[in-house]
Amino acid sequence: MLYLMPMSKILIGAIAAVMMSTPALADRLTLDRVFASPSLSGSAPRALSLSPDGRYATLLRSRPDDLNRYDLWAIDTTTGESRMLIDSKKVGSGAEISEAEKMRRERARVGGSLGIVSYNWSPDGKTILVPLDGDLYLASLDGSVQQVTHTAATEVDAQVSATGHYLSFVRDQNLFVIDLKNNQEQALSQDGGGSLTWGSAEFVAQEEMSRTKGHWWSPDDSRLAVARVDESQVHIVTRAAIGANGTQTYQQRYPMAGTPNAKVELYLMNPDGSKKVKVDLGNNDDIYLARVNWSPDSQSLYVQHESRDQQRLDLLKVDSHTGQSQLLFSETSKSWINLNNDLQILKDDSLIWASERSGYRHLYHWQKGKWTTLTQGDWMTLGVVGLDQKKGLLYFLANKSTPIEQHLYVIDYHHPSEPRQLTEAGWYNNAVMDKGANRLLIGRSNTSQPPQVYLADTKGKRLSWIEENKLDARHPYAPYLAEHAKTEFGSLKANDGKRLYYKILSPKRVAGQKYPVFIQVYNGPDVGRQVTQGWTSPLHQYLVSKGWIVFSIDGRGSPQRGKTFEEPIYKAMGTVEVEDQLTGLNWLKSQDYVDAKKIAVFGWSYGGYMVQKLLQKAPGQYSAGVSGAPVIRWDLYDTHYTERFLGNPAFDPQPYQKSDALSDALKLSDPMLLIHGMADDNVVFDNSVALVSKLQEGDKSFEFMAYPGETHRIAGEQKQRHLWHMIEKFLDRTTKCRE
């Protein structure tokens, strides 16, 4: 999955770090302050969760003196008492984690973070499992911490079983189980190693399918479903991690578009490894194991598997003892199917299912072959949050009121009617719920309030603040609040009449004065919408304080607007979404407060690719472009992401040739700054190397900055400052000072 770097999912990745500091000049925001601790956005916790019984809220908080280091905190939802459960500086060895774990963290978008980067409640709610420095720890609510593993190897994919009886994990590519009653450890597989792994998700499952698990416990702990991943047919690429102190090379199995994928099989076994049977997934092994879920009674396994072309998704019901399967139903598409995590298996063996069959993702109730539509309309459901089977209530997120906001809704799935909105208008909300659907943790922000978290009842009423993050005199952002630029929203019509939403931040305009524009672009599928009612990065505010107008527009191909909005890029990346960005550019140039000769464009990852395509498509229309970690050749990217949108190049290479950013690279005539991390395993450094070579051969002028040792996210306060000081100087030279 591509992701935005410095500012969009840069807002989620690099720019998650882009919100920080201590004022150098009173009331005057500086780049150095933007990147320093504490965060200008205040306390913005990660990994919000509720204990299974709803008694405790847990989260990861960064330290006031180190915005990249996280500790585990717990809040008693009854008393409001807040305390640190695990101090990451006091627990753990500080040992270097393995390269595989580093890459796993990159795929989880927590690369570069220190301390505790993830945790999981045990299903019985008695302990919290914390991986730290390659080992596993169990934290109790009384503050005690037990180190469970003590090995040089890194344990990954760790889980506490459903009843709390067992702890399972993968070490050296084999699956292990520890009986927590007697601390006896047992290997459930012995042949893992080399190209074979038991119990972990393969690369594309982690990177592109949002499936991080490779084994699944039944609700009664009697059986385990375990993935067996054979990568022997996957091409080996030599990945160079070029660092400041030398270059390390890694032989990595990487399934580039058009090449063989890993062969993934699924087995069922007892916790001691006995009574192992293979699950019948059909005769075609060139498929994706998309999702695995257990039935409440532990008798059945529900498996979603997807065809290689991603145009068919089958739901299988599997007997947990024999491995025999039956097809319940299939979803099909003429373009591609977007996976989701919304399957809910009810006690009566009926299902809640999400589908885009109407053109928008909506929820359905399936019962013995009969479908009941639960939601409908030209809006999308965006994730099931909770299920109350006693009352027949289903809680979910959706953008029903407007595409730029996200709200929590509830519906009676036995008697569906208009969904009831539980969150306040004017905010972008996320939510998690406890297992019993008794309490909600709601995280929200808007363009004038940084992220907040509160505890709510099932009607959405706020019971208490978990993290109010109030913008008062004590808040890190307080010295700059008076200069905070308001975000304005609007919409334009694309060439075919589709509505395109934009946002714009401006300095206080003076009549008759024209301003330079900084355009932030992503516009890729799957992730990365930028035009939302969420907190705007302080980096944007800094740019406005320096006289820039900051502008973004989400064009076709962007997610969460329905399939008819996404699908025009099918086998045609770099076409319609480029035209939509140019629609935004033309609108800007028509505004009397915009200096039409001073409009620069910035993007990272897919956004970096878009910068290349925009400069090629419209030479002379932008004053400059900054292209970070761009995809230049789509055949260098992985199977699941790329083939979803461009098809399989082994059968039809034309869409790849038309969509790449290399063929027309010599059309470059505007100033361009290219940036890439030299250890990037997402958009590999080879992409920029190919572009640099082509531009040099064509005697084209450009500027280039490579970051040794950095991956897809340029991490750390110092390097972030270096990155943005460089970008600012480049834009001042090429755009601000342009005659």
Q: Which residue has the higher pLDDT, 537 or 563?
A: 563
| Residue 362 a catalytic site member | no
SS3 for 532-557 is CCCCCCHHHHHHHHCCCEEEEEECCC
User: Does the structure show a pLDDT above 80 at 110?
Assistant: no
Residue type, 237: V
Residue pLDDT, tens place only, 491-514: 999 988 999 999 999 999 999 999
Residue 365 a catalytic site member: no
Catalytic site includes residue 712: yes
Position 90 scores a pLDDT of 79
Which segment of 16-25, 420-429, 546-555, 634-643 scores lowest on mean pLDDT? 16-25
Place of tokens 């025999």: 324
Alpha-carbon span 307 to 313, nearest angstrom:
7
The model's pLDDT over 171-215, given as tens digits with 9 standing for 90+, comes to 999 999 999 999 999 999 999 999 999 999 999 999 999 999 999
Stronger pLDDT, 146 or 19, i.e. the higher one: 146
Catalytic residue among 605, 623, 627, 688: 605
Q: Is the pLDDT of residue 34 over 80?
A: yes
Mean pLDDT computed over 106-117: 67
Distance of CA 357 to the CA centre of its chain: 24
Selecting among 365, 680, 681, 688, the annotated active-site residue is 680
**222, two tokens:** 């009697």
Please report the pLDDT score of residue 141 as a whole number.
84
The predicted pLDDT at position 237 comes to 81
Dihedral sign, CA of 627, 630, 632, 634? negative
- Residue of 305, 365, 640, 712 with catalytic role: 712
Helices (H) and strands (E) in the chain, counts: 11, 44
Q: Is residue 48 very low, low, confident or very high in pLDDT (cuts 50, 70, 90)?
A: confident
User: Which percentage of the chain shows pLDDT scores above 90?
Assistant: 77
Judging by beta carbons within 10 Å of its beta carbon (0-12, 13-18, 19+), is residue 477 exposed, middle or buried? buried
Lowest mean pLDDT among 40-44, 253-257, 475-479, 506-510: 40-44
Q: Which amino acid is present at 268?
A: L
Under the banding of pLDDT at 50, 70 and 90, the label for residue 12 is: very low
Query: Does residue 84 or residue 656 have the better pLDDT?
Result: 656
State the Cα–Cα distance between residues 519 and 589, nearest whole angstrom: 12
